[in-house]
Amino acid sequence: MSANSPKRIGIFSDVHGNLQAFEAVIEAMQQDNVEGIYCCGDIVGYGANPNECVELTRELQCPIIAGNHDHAALLLTDISYFNDVAKAAVLWTKKVLTSKNSQFLQDLPLTVSDDHFYFVHASPKAPEQWNYILTMGEARTNFEYFTQQFCFIGHSHQPFIIEDYEDNLICPAQPDIQIKPGRRYLVNVGSVGQPRDRNPKPAYVICDLEKEILEIKRVEYDIPSAQNAIIKEGLPRELAERLAYGW
Ligand code: ZN
């Protein structure tokens, strides 16, 4: 471990312009006494406050990587495969983003790593292709594309922890596990702004190398405020409604 590596980090992803959820997660991470914060991308898209979320992320001065919606809002990636609702949100986001915030998103790297941690939005195998890791088979393949003990991803908005021990993959059902020496971990940190695991509470992850704990955490936030902001901006109603049921 390099001397300056933070030992207790908070990782979040997929804020998607939901300022109310983002503020709740930042407050929770600060109360968790993290020494470092990392963002796995998709700061914008779907929610009503893309500029505020970019600015808040920038204020955190944390390592940040780009997500597919960040690139989509700059038309850097093909949006023809987006559904109508996602497309409408992306085009609205493109329209309202300030040039400074667009430039900030454009400058984000696709991956960030150090001795212990590897961060990518979708998959280590092909960061620029935005493929989902949804099966144990896909997880197994992706373990071959990072060398660190931990890889943190977002993208599917469905948090999980997968442990690799001598080629046996284990996906614990509980949200917190003991980190074991010699084992490697692929962790989806879930979504701050639009959870899709039928739990509407924003998610983030704590990784503590000293206490050897990896934990998916959830927080409460003001869902009606986020919904009202979406409706007020004239974005598709479905984007507001889904926040209530976490799908
Ligand atoms: Zn996303």
What CA–CA distance (Å, rounded) separates 105 from 184? Answer: 30
Query: What local confidence, expressed as pLDDT, does residue 1 receive?
Result: 45
Q: Which CATH architecture has domain 8-244?
A: 4-Layer Sandwich (3.60)
The CA 25 to ligand 1 mean position distance, Å, reads 16
Give the chain's residues under pLDDT 50.
1, 3
Query: What local confidence, expressed as pLDDT, does residue 4 receive?
Result: 62
Query: What local confidence, expressed as pLDDT, does residue 166 receive?
Result: 87
The CA 157 to ligand 1 mean position distance, Å, reads 6
The CA 115 to ligand 1 mean position distance, Å, reads 26
**H helix or E strand, kind and range, residue 20:** helix 19-31
Query: What local confidence, expressed as pLDDT, does residue 5 receive?
Result: 73
pLDDT digits (tens, 9 = 90+) for 97-112: 999 999 999 999 999 9
The CA 42 to ligand 1 mean position distance, Å, reads 5
pLDDT digits (tens, 9 = 90+) for 70-84: 999 999 988 998 999
Query: What local confidence, expressed as pLDDT, does residue 2 receive?
Result: 52
207-225 b/e (C-beta count within 10 Å ≥ 16 → b): bbbeeeebbbbbbebebee
The CA 181 to ligand 1 mean position distance, Å, reads 31
The CA 5 to ligand 1 mean position distance, Å, reads 27
154-173 b/e (C-beta count within 10 Å ≥ 16 → b): bbbbbbbbbbbeeeeeeeee
The CA 40 to ligand 1 mean position distance, Å, reads 10
pTM > 0.75: yes or no = yes
The CA 193 to ligand 1 mean position distance, Å, reads 9
The CA 121 to ligand 1 mean position distance, Å, reads 9
Asked if 153 and 122 count as a contact pair (C-beta separation under 8 A), the reply is: yes
Find where tokens 């960061």 sit: 127
Q: Which two structure tokens, joined as six digits, stand for 108?
A: 């984000």
